[in-house]
Amino acid sequence: MALWDKLKGELIDIIQWLDDSNDTLLYRFPRYNNEIKYNAKLVVREGQMAVFINEGQIADVFGPGTYTLTTRNLPVLATLKGWKYGFESPFKAEVYFCSTRQFTNLKWGTPGPCTMRDPEFGAVRVTAFGLYAMKIKDPTVFIREIAGTDSDFSIDEIQENLKGKIGLRIKELLPELQIPVIELESKVVTLGKMLQERIAPAFEGFGISLTEVQVQDVGLPEEVERAIDKAGAMRVIGNLQTFTQYETANAIKDAASNPGGLAAAGAGVGIGLGIGGQMAGTMGSIATAQPQQAAGMTPPPLPEQVQLFVALGGKQAGPFELPTLQQMVQAGQLTRETLVWKQGMAAWSAAGNLTELASLFASAPPPLTTD
């Protein structure tokens, strides 16, 4: 098998990469003992670049095209090796193919809620997620900083790192913008462009170009969403006719999905319309009564509470209101002969003489008699 591999390596004169994986960023061309024959053909297709590495050093970079590997096409490699025989024998080097096409539909999201201050809701914890697109801009930087000697480097090996950079940046960006949370979803395009501008330099440090950032959704806390929904519902209920129509439509929809429920739906519609009519009539009555009240039709003043002082054991006590006086009558502390006084009276008088206390003594039992 080793002999066949060697012979096959000697026979292959075309160096090329046909990528059918759709997720490979870097691919090392396999050659027996890394030997490349003089006058071999190098084919670099659109969306690719080829990087020659000799003894750990990047020697040459080729863009799309077909090349014959000679000293004329490999001046840097020739300088590094300093060979005297013009590459008449196979030379050793590694060839890495790098995909320069765009990789799209890559997902990102905030690693946790981002706290921002809102003028209406106060401190609010917000999340966000979306998509981004990238491509390799400088293959030499990408190999030096990221891929290294990996023979088959896919997008999955770096995606988590790139996704994390976007998620962290938006946690910095959202509080700085000071946009009300209910307006964030209308600013997603602006947010995407600002994120791209801020993160692009960090990507370029890896030899990668960040071509697009999309903010697809901004997540709000449940209590904020409920407050927004409630505010919308209150605006709808403000128009009674619209509210009644809304409730009627919901009743019909529920009945349509419930076998035998159309009769109940009819009753529900009637009740809804009746309640709506009654509420509308009540609202009209209130509106009609308001001008009359303004014309001077006001209710009489509330009666004043009775407050009496009571002579108990030769001492003044009180004042007491009717509920307390009733308890005193039932306990036998207050009788018809007990002296009482209230504001406006010239002197103390027996409790039985006051009309305000007549009802209290009428319900009280007669005094006990002893033989």
Segment 47-76 mean pLDDT: 81
Pick the CATH number of 308-362 from 3.40.630, 3.30.70, 3.30.1490, 2.20.28: 3.30.1490
The boundaries of every CATH 3.30.1490 domain in the chain are 308-362
Cross-strand partners of 350: 339
Write the Ramachandran bin of 87: left for phi over 0, alpha for psi from -120 to 50, otherwise beta.
left
Query: CA angle at residue 27 from 21 to 33, to 5 degrees?
Result: 135
Query: What is the per-residue pLDDT for 96?
Result: 92
Q: What is the mean pLDDT of residues 77-83?
A: 49
Instruction: Supply the pLDDT for residue 82.
Output: 44
DSSP assignment of 138-153, as one string? -HHHHIIIIITT-SEE
pLDDT tens sequence across 111-146:
888 888 888 878 888 888 899 999 999 999 999 988
CATH 3.40.50.300 applies to domain 103-220: no
Mean pLDDT, rounded, of the chain:
75
Question: What backbone phi and psi angles, to 5 degrees, belong to 50?
Answer: -115, 135
Q: CATH 3.30.479.30 region(s) of the chain? A: 103-220
Distance CA 290, CA 292 (A): 5
* pLDDT for residue 33: 63
